[in-house]
């Protein structure tokens, strides 16, 4: 898992509340990604980062924001959680030398 | 952007038989095609990949083939074993310098003992 730790691993939250998911890596990888996994959709890219303070949107970025103040940490924030954001969220990293992505164990988020 | 389609969505095979998963992609500039295996409760892990300058690659019981003209690539698992039961994802990367992967919807493979 290339030293990737996601926290929390499970979370239940109420609609309208803010939620922050954390991804921490120990590999000094330049690239970091947040994906969501839903049945029938595979893995869809939410946001990614190509360096400290350098981020960009993925294909399903609405309702999400990210921040990367240090190489090792990439935060995903749901400003006001909705039921449609109930999903399993995966963080991934890539060192840049190849295109191989390494994934964390995932965070199961339930919005009620 | 890149669009990757994957079939079938579920696949059940008898232990010892072969399994084949097929993917198509839309961007002719795509040059890297990895396959990931996801076991229950875990994150996806890379099992094999292929680049656009190669037509086939094999690693023990798994192999991947690429047809650039038709824009499709396939995963082949031979002599399937119970531990091959998992969800498999294909992916494609569009261009040099872009380290974003577009994933297929996944195939749930079940190996029957």
pLDDT 10s digits, B39-69 = 999 999 999 999 888 899 999 999 999 999 9
Q: Does position A45 have pLDDT exceeding 90, yes or no? A: yes
Q: Does position B98 have pLDDT exceeding 80, yes or no? A: no
- For A71-75, A99-103, A106-110, which range has the lowest pLDDT when averaged over its residues? A99-103
Calpha distance B56→A22 (Å, rounded): 38
Average of pLDDT values for B61-80? 97
Calpha distance B4→A33 (Å, rounded): 18
Give the helix/strand (H/E) hosting A102. Answer: strand A102-103
Count of all residues that appear for chain B in the document:
113
Which pLDDT belongs to residue B96? 62
- The minimum CA-CA distance between A81 and chain B, rounded to whole Å, is 23
Which pLDDT belongs to residue A93? 94
Q: What percent of chain B has pLDDT over 90?
A: 81
Q: Does position B38 have pLDDT exceeding 90, yes or no? A: yes
Q: Are the C-beta atoms of B50 and B35 separated by less than 8 Å?
A: no
Could A105 and B42 be called an inter-chain contact, meaning their C-beta atoms sit closer than 8 Å? yes
Give the helix/strand (H/E) hosting A65. Answer: strand A64-70
Average of pLDDT values for B16-21? 98
Q: Does position A28 have pLDDT exceeding 80, yes or no? A: yes
Task: Fill in the DSSP letter of residue B82.
Answer: G
Could B99 and A1 be called an inter-chain contact, meaning their C-beta atoms sit closer than 8 Å? no
CB atoms < 10 A from the CB of B39, how many?
12
Reported confidence tier of residue A40, pLDDT bands at 50, 70, 90: confident
Residues of B in contact with A59 (CB under 8 A): 1
Output the CA angle B107-B110-B111, nearest 5 degrees.
Answer: 135
Could B9 and A59 be called an inter-chain contact, meaning their C-beta atoms sit closer than 8 Å? no
Could B89 and A105 be called an inter-chain contact, meaning their C-beta atoms sit closer than 8 Å? no
Average of pLDDT values for B25-45? 93
Reported confidence tier of residue A75, pLDDT bands at 50, 70, 90: very high
């Amino acid at each position: 898992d290339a030293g990737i730790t996601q926290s929390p691993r499970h979370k239940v939250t109420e609609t309208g509340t803010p939620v922050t998911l954390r991804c921490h890596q120990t590999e000094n990888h330049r690239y970091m990604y947040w994906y969501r996994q839903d049945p029938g959709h595979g893995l869809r890219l939410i946001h990614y980062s190509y360096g400290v303070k350098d981020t960009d949107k993925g294909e399903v970025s609405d309702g999400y924001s990210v921040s990367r103040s240090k190489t090792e940490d990439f935060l995903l924030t749901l400003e006001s959680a909705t039921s449609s954001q109930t999903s399993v969220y995966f963080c991934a990293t890539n060192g840049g030398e190849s295109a191989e992505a390494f994934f964390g164990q995932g965070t199961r988020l339930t919005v009620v | 952007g890149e669009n990757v389609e994957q079939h079938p969505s579920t696949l059940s095979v008898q232990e010892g038989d072969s399994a084949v998963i097929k993917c198509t992609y839309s961007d002719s500039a795509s040059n890297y095609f990895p396959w990931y295996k996801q076991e229950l409760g875990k994150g996806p892990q890379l099992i094999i990949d292929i680049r656009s300058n190669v037509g086939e690659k094999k690693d023990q019981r798994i192999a991947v083939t690429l047809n650039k003209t038709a824009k499709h690539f396939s995963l082949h698992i031979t002599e399937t074993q119970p531990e091959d039961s998992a969800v498999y994802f294909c992916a494609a990367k569009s261009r040099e310098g872009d380290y974003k992967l577009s994933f297929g919807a996944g195939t749930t493979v079940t190996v029957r003992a």
